[in-house]
Structure 1
Amino acid sequence: MVLSAVLLFGASSVTSLNGVFAQDSVDEISESVGDTVDNAASDISDAVTDEESESTTQEHGEMVHDDEGRLPGNIKIEREPTYKVGDDVQINATHMPGMEGAEGTVIAAFDTTAYEISYTPTDDSEPIENHRWIVQEEIAEAADQEDADAPFEVGDEVTVEAYHMPGMEGATATIDAVNETTVYLVDYIDTESGEEVINHKWVTEDELATLDGAEETAPATSESTTESSEDESESEESSSDEESGSESDSTPEENSDEESSEESTPEESSSQDSSSEETE
């Protein structure tokens, strides 16, 4: 009887302990699953954020780069630009990331009018405000004017034919600013990514500056020219002195010839006297 009671008590204890252990296992599993779910959610969130960031970067890349360097028809080349093809320049434009302070190279220069515009892209993306730049030859209505080069005015609505940004070609835009100037096609090194941007459209003349190194070259050339001029001047002075000396040396000989000529005069006089005596 006592043994049965002991056995029953032991079995009950074991069942209770199993229940406790079972509950602990459930709690541990639940906690583990919760952590896993939280971590997975966090990873998904991070992945989405990274994807959005990458997408934004790609959009900027598409907006900036146009490696083909296609040009609008009828655009006129500037024959005597301030910055010539091949010149190294500093870009001071701020209308694109990584552009301000970048070092670049002039690829081409054009005589045209540049416009700052606001427009809604044709691909249903967000409206773009104060975009710089498009040029006269990238506006559809320019060809319809009596003078195709006549600039538009601030507030005019125009149709954009530029294709160096997604959703730009065919978009209706409002002109925000007009800049009659020389515009440049440039390559440059992005100051943020360190990557080279090829055939960027467009940079206006007032957004460019000569590199410091190029500015320092001019005085050096000037000094060299000055030294050369001084050497030439000294050489001319030396040559002048030699010529002067030569003239001075020749003078005594001439004087000697003159004296010799004068000395012969008495002989002639004596000969004349002798002839006179014989006559008498």
Structure 2
Amino acid sequence: MKNKYRIGILIFMAFMTLYGCGNVLKGENIDTNKNVNLAPDDDLSMDEKQSVAEGNNHVNHTNSGIVPKGVKKAQNPTYPVGSQVIIQADHMVGMKGAKGIIVGAYNTNAYAVTYEPTTGGEEVKNHKWVIQEEIKKPQDKILQPGAKVTLEADHLPGMKGAIATVESGIHTTVYMVNYKPTNGTSDVKNHKWLIESEIEADQS
């Protein structure tokens, strides 16, 4: 009888030891997971994830801050270099409503263009903006919708050398802007280009 009692105690103790070890292991897993950096869009819908992916296009921008030869600095721009602005354009996810600072202002013709990247892939429609000096053999007069041009701009992979169709054009002041995207992605430096109607003064 005593042997059965002792065996019962030993079994009970073994069970409790295993149970305790299990809890320790679980606790270790929880602590380890605290250090794991989960993707920020894990809880987003598929559509939202696609938007985030599209918004990351700026990662591939050259963003060198170099302007094409012949571009003329604006003499009295509405937003001089150093101005704090709010971006109203939505060229990319995280742009609309973002706070930025003007780092360049130039007078030129700006175009929205549609083109097929030289690297392959889908046609890029109504890209804003390419300026006159970023077109091969630029003309002095503004180009009309439907005009075919060869792009010298390299804002995105596959843009330089691409044949493009002008969708619209405007003579305006174009701005180079640094800004912090509203979707939490890394700061964008030397974004080319925004036109005057796409920004407003930051009054905050």
Offset of residue 164 of structure 1: 1.3
Q: Hey, what does 2:74 align to over in structure 1?
A: 78
Q: Distance in 2 between the 1:149 and 1:87 partners?
A: 30
Q: Hey, what does 1:198 align to over in structure 2?
A: 189
Q: Distance in 1 between the 2:97 and 2:77 partners?
A: 21
Is the contact between residue 91 and residue 102 of structure 1 (CA under 8 Å) also seen in structure 2? yes
Q: Unpaired runs of 5+ in structure 2?
A: 1-41
Code of the aligned partner of 1:174: T
Is the contact between residue 62 and residue 166 of structure 1 (CA under 8 Å) also seen in structure 2? no
SS of structure 1 residue aligned to 2:130? strand
Q: Distance in 2 between the 1:157 and 1:56 partners?
A: 30
SS of structure 1 residue aligned to 2:79? coil
Say which structure, 1 or 2, has more relative contact order (CA 8 Å, 6+ apart): 2
Q: Hey, what does 1:269 align to over in structure 2?
A: none
Q: Distance in 2 between the 1:78 and 1:56 partners?
A: 34
Q: Hey, what does 1:69 align to over in structure 2?
A: 65
Q: Hey, what does 1:106 align to over in structure 2?
A: 102
User: Is 1:133–2:129 an aligned residue pair?
Assistant: yes
TM-score normalised to the size of structure 1?
Answer: 0.53
Code of the aligned partner of 1:178: G
Q: Distance in 2 between the 1:187 and 1:58 partners?
A: 16
Offset of residue 57 of structure 1: 5.9
Code of the aligned partner of 1:86: G
- Which protein is richer in strand relative to its size? 2
Is the contact between residue 105 and residue 188 of structure 1 (CA under 8 Å) also seen in structure 2? yes
User: Is 1:181–2:172 an aligned residue pair?
Assistant: yes
Deviations 1:191-233 (A, max 9, x none): 00252110000000000101123xxxxxxxxxxxxxxxxxxxx
Q: Distance in 2 between the 1:114 and 1:58 partners?
A: 22
Q: Distance in 2 between the 1:200 and 1:193 partners?
A: 17
Decide which of 205, 209, 212 is 2:203's aligned counterpart. 212
Q: Distance in 2 between the 1:57 and 1:139 partners?
A: 25
Number of equivalenced pairs: 157
What is the 5 A alignment of 1:1-280?
56=53, 60-63=57-60, 65-142=61-138, 148-213=139-204
Offset of residue 56 of structure 1: 4.2
Q: Distance in 1 between the 2:114 and 2:102 partners?
A: 27
| Runs of 4+, deviation exceeding 2 Å | 55-59
Q: Distance in 2 between the 1:108 and 1:177 partners?
A: 23
Q: Distance in 2 between the 1:206 and 1:58 partners?
A: 21
Q: Unpaired runs of 5+ in structure 1?
A: 1-45, 143-147, 214-280
1:59–1:127: structure 2 CA closer, same or farther, 3 Å change rule? Answer: farther
Offset of residue 179 of structure 1: 1.4
SS of structure 2 residue aligned to 1:212? coil
Offset of residue 189 of structure 1: 0.5
1:157–1:83: structure 2 CA closer, same or farther, 3 Å change rule? Answer: same
Offset of residue 59 of structure 1: 6.0
Deviations 1:54-110 (A, max 9, x none): x946961344x4332121111111011000000000100011111000000000100
Q: Distance in 2 between the 1:85 and 1:136 partners?
A: 21
TM-score normalised to the size of structure 2?
Answer: 0.71
Code of the aligned partner of 2:130: I
Deviations 1:229-274 (A, max 9, x none): xxxxxxxxxxxxxxxxxxxxxxxxxxxxxxxxxxxxxxxxxxxxxx
